[in-house]
Amino acid sequence: MRRAVLLLLLASLPAAAAHAGDFPSRTVTIVSPYQAGGTSDLVARVLAQKLGERWGKTVIVENKPGANGGTGVNAVVSAAPDGHTLLAAASSALTLNPLFYPKLNYDPVRDLTPITRTGLVANVLVINPALPVNDVKSLIGLARQKPGTLTYASQGVGSNGHVTGEFFKQRAQIDILHVPYKGSAPAVQDLLAGHVQIMFDNLPSVLPLIRAGELRALAVTTAERSPELPEVPTISEAALPGFDTSAWFALLAPKGTPVAIVQEIEHAAVTVLTDPETRERFRTAGVAVVADGSSELTKHIASETVMWRDVIAKAGIKAE
């Protein structure tokens, strides 16, 4: 079904290359607002390689970490709107940062032009195996028996894992305590050591530990099961119908980029993302290809901003 949708999208896109002049006329830079080596960075590098092959031009990835992704985003916002500087961002930079950091120098809707989502990563609800539960319902039951005693780790205040945990608390009507860390690695270490009991982390980060039996996966947060963990249910089917969150990645350009160039980049990106080699490279990293175009990306930014604003308000979360 997903492949059919992608093919329909490709067919609906105009053959924009004929209208984009000689684009690209020089090296294209894809800015990754994170450190090299992460999942978002991998997605950007695969996309850069494939676009370079398609265009016959050099496409490079430039890492500009800092300010929770804000440094890299601002670099693209201030770049010339000619399509030669693009942004490969995670959903948190587009939907969470503006809610947690109202003094940001950028507004995703005002300052960026959406091109397409590129990939999606499930978050997975994992626990320390010493916790005496084997499924989501029993975890919720234990939390209700012992309100305020169970703890869940996150990658930091305002992270995807944090707001997913708060959403879970609200839907399940339970009281578990949030323990923020500075990144995933120290949080996972304390989860393994039993200092905290629960965590929502992206699947690629914890998959080896799940397979080794060092962490127990209770459910994934997406609407569909993960191909990497087909035996693990979704939270929606296990306990909370309609529960659906994820971390996704997207390609964007500076606002004001000519429509013909945006269409060419969108057409090229959707084409290379549907390539079997791209799919396989994403799959081995725990990423599902999502190439649903600019209109769908626009909808996702808007709808998730509304959803997370409500979750954050109910939880009373403040940026540190």
Q: Mean pLDDT in the chain?
A: 92
Question: For the segment 139-176, what is each residue's pLDDT rounded down to a tens digit?
Answer: 999 999 999 999 999 999 989 999 999 999 999 999 99
The first and second tokens of residue 93, run together, are 């930079």
Q: Which fold has domain 123-238?
A: D-Maltodextrin-Binding Protein; domain 2 (3.40.190)
pTM, two decimals, is: 0.87
pLDDT for 27 beyond 80: yes
pLDDT for 274 beyond 80: yes
Q: Are 156 and 69 in contact (CB under 8 A)?
A: no
Q: Are both 2-121+246-315 and 123-238 of the same fold?
A: yes
| Mean pLDDT score, 69-90 | 96
How does 106-141 read in b/e, with b if 16+ C-beta sit within 10 Å? bebeebbbbbbbbbbbbbbbbbbeebebeebeebbe
pLDDT-wise least confident of 12-26, 97-111, 267-281: 12-26
pLDDT value at position 16?
A: 42
Per domain, the residue ranges of the chain are 2-121+246-315, 123-238
| Mean pLDDT score, 12-25 | 63
| Mean pLDDT score, 303-307 | 96
DSSP H or E stretch at residue 117: strand 112-121
- Does the domain made of 2-121+246-315 have the CATH classification 3.40.190.150? yes
Question: For the segment 178-234, what is each residue's pLDDT rounded down to a tens digit?
Answer: 999 988 999 999 999 999 999 999 998 999 999 999 999 999 999 999 988 999 999
Angstrom CA distances, 203 to 36, 67, 218, 240, stand at: 18, 24, 12, 20
